[in-house]
Chains A and B, each alone.
Chain A
Amino acid sequence: KQEVTQIPAALSVPEGENLVLNCSFTDSAIYNLQWFRQDPGKGLTSLLLIQSSQREQTSGRLNASLDKSSGRSTLYIAASQPGDSATYLCAVPGNAGNMLTFGGGTRLMVKP
């Protein structure tokens, strides 16, 4: 059974710092990996999807990498801003209908 772990569970940084969020998964036979953002009391917003054949995907100040062989993905946030404060979730699809298995999330606080 696929298990997805995110470390750290919470992170607090001053504004302007570059930071890395980690995601690891136990079964490397994945088709893709998706990163989401969730604001308190809100739904999930898709940030990036990396296909298994890709190593990196970029969107603005966000860069996600994927290393299938080691079962890891990282989300790099450059020049963090208070508006980046949210919970970040990673998820990988399984075989059944591409259902997603989620990590527990990293709760990020960027202080002004």
Chain B
Amino acid sequence: NAGVTQTPKFRVLKTGQSMTLLCAQDMNHEYMYWYRQDPGMGLRLIHYSVGEGTTAKGEVPDGYNVSRLKKQNFLLGLESAAPSQTSVYFCASSYSPSRFYNEQFFGPGTRLTVL
């Protein structure tokens, strides 16, 4: 199993450009998440999905959109990139048979710079 994979690994954008980050998992997990990690701010949830075809906002959703058309994929879109979106983006997934045991597994991250 590859686990959680993310593409691309690195990207540099100019302000106003758009891009899509792809997350894929091969563990048949129901829940998927997008986090961003910034120095001094820690990891914060952007959007999440509790199943195919569903998405919901997290703590910092502004400027991002997501889609979960297939269970194994979760896409994060930036329609008009801003320098404040320079960050490392992590995707995670979990299988949720129980709230008491819901271990999250993370991808390797995408390092995005917006100039």
B-binding residues in A (CB < 8 A): 31-32, 34, 36, 42-46, 49, 51-53, 89, 91, 93, 96-100, 102-105
Contacts and interface: CB of A to CB of B under 8 A. Distances in A.
Interface string B72-107: 000000000000000000101010100111111111
B100 A32 contact: yes
Contacts of A42: 108-109
B43 A89 contact: yes
Nearest to A42: B108
26 contacts: A31-B100, A32-B101, A42-B109, A43-B107, A43-B109, A44-B90, A44-B92, A44-B106, A46-B104, A46-B106, A49-B101, A91-B43, A93-B102, A96-B56, A96-B58, A97-B48, A98-B31, A98-B94, A98-B102, A98-B104, A100-B43, A100-B92, A102-B42, A103-B42, A104-B42, A105-B42
Contacts of B13: none
Nearest to A45: B106
A52 B114 CA distance: 41
Contacts of B22: none
A49 B33 contact: no
A5 to B, nearest CB: 11
- Among A45, A89, A99, the one with the most B-chain Cβ atoms within 10 Å of its Cβ is A99
B111 to A, nearest CB: 8
Contacts of B35: 100
B100 A100 contact: no
B50 interface: yes
Contacts of B105: 46
Given A34-B104, A43-B108, A98-B31, A93 B99 contact: yes
A53 B99 contact: no
B112 interface: no
Nearest to B33: A99
Contacts of B56: 96-97
Nearest to A94: B45
Contacts of A96: 48, 56, 58
